[in-house]
Homo-oligomer: A and B are copies of this chain.
Amino acid sequence: MEKGSLPRGRGKPRDENLRETILLASSELLLEKGFRHFTIEGVAARSKASKVTIYKWWPSKGSLALDGYVHTITESIAFPETAWPRQDIERQLSSLITRLTTTPAGRAILELIGAAQEDADLKRELCARYIEPRRQIAAAAFARLLGWDPIEKKDALHAVTDQVYGAIYNRLLFGLTPLDDHFARELVAFWVPPNPNL
């Protein structure tokens, strides 16, 4: 019996486990092979899920690859939430830069961004599944750093975060250097100069 045709009554936990297994397989395949060689068949084989099941949850190869990417990167680029928002952001930017420059995640996201420029659906998925949610989280962190009201200053916060992350992605997309811990701290320092008493 195909997993994809399991009666819905069999319950959520099983579905959740299967979903998790598929996401893990998707992220592994994406990081190993890159987006160019990423296929729904490959994820089905690796996760032992049927293609029918996969298509039930993901409308396209791109949406599955993107969720796989989000699955593999989210934890490592979370914003710590301590009493020191500056340090929280510096750490988040450093983690992001490290992941992008020293692990296969960098190649994966560049390939996804690249492919999205020729594929309007993929661009929409990229924005909806990765960019837009991360942008909201980053805006909230910068609101804490700058002491700005997150709702009233929403547009300005997006302009700030688009500049900070835009600089990082620009360097990655065009192969510009340096793109390292020091650059992470430098970026933050433009927005909140370091306290000379600390």
The answer to whether A118 touches B124, judged by C-beta atoms less than 8 angstroms apart, is: no
* Complex alpha-carbon distance, A167 and B169, angstroms: 9
| Residues of A138-191 whose CB lies within 8 A of B | 155-156, 159-160, 162-171, 173-176, 183, 186-187, 190
Interface size on A, residues (CB 8 A): 37
A117 contacts B159, C-beta separation under 8 Å: no
CB of A117 within 8 A of CB of B123, answer: no
Interface core residue of A113, A114, A131 (most chain B CB under 10 Å): A114
Query: Residues of B contacting A176 with CB < 8 Å?
Result: 127, 131, 135, 162
Given contacts A114-B117, A118-B111, contact A163 B175 (CB under 8 A): no
Query: Which residues of A98-133 have CB atoms within 8 Å of chain B's CB atoms?
Result: 110-111, 113-118, 123-124, 126-127, 131
**How many copies of the polypeptide does the oligomer hold?**
2
In the bound complex, what is the Cα–Cα distance between A70 and B87 (angstroms)?
41
Q: How far is the CA of A166 from the CA of B162 in the complex (A)?
A: 7
Residue of B nearest to A187 (CB): B159
Question: Can you list 21 residue pairs at the A/B interface with Cβ under 8 Å?
Answer: A36-B118, A113-B173, A113-B174, A116-B173, A116-B174, A117-B173, A123-B174, A123-B175, A124-B175, A127-B176, A155-B186, A159-B167, A159-B186, A159-B187, A163-B164, A163-B166, A163-B190, A165-B170, A166-B166, A166-B167, A169-B173
Closest 6 interchain pairs by CB? A166-B166, A114-B117, A166-B170, A163-B163, A162-B167, A114-B114
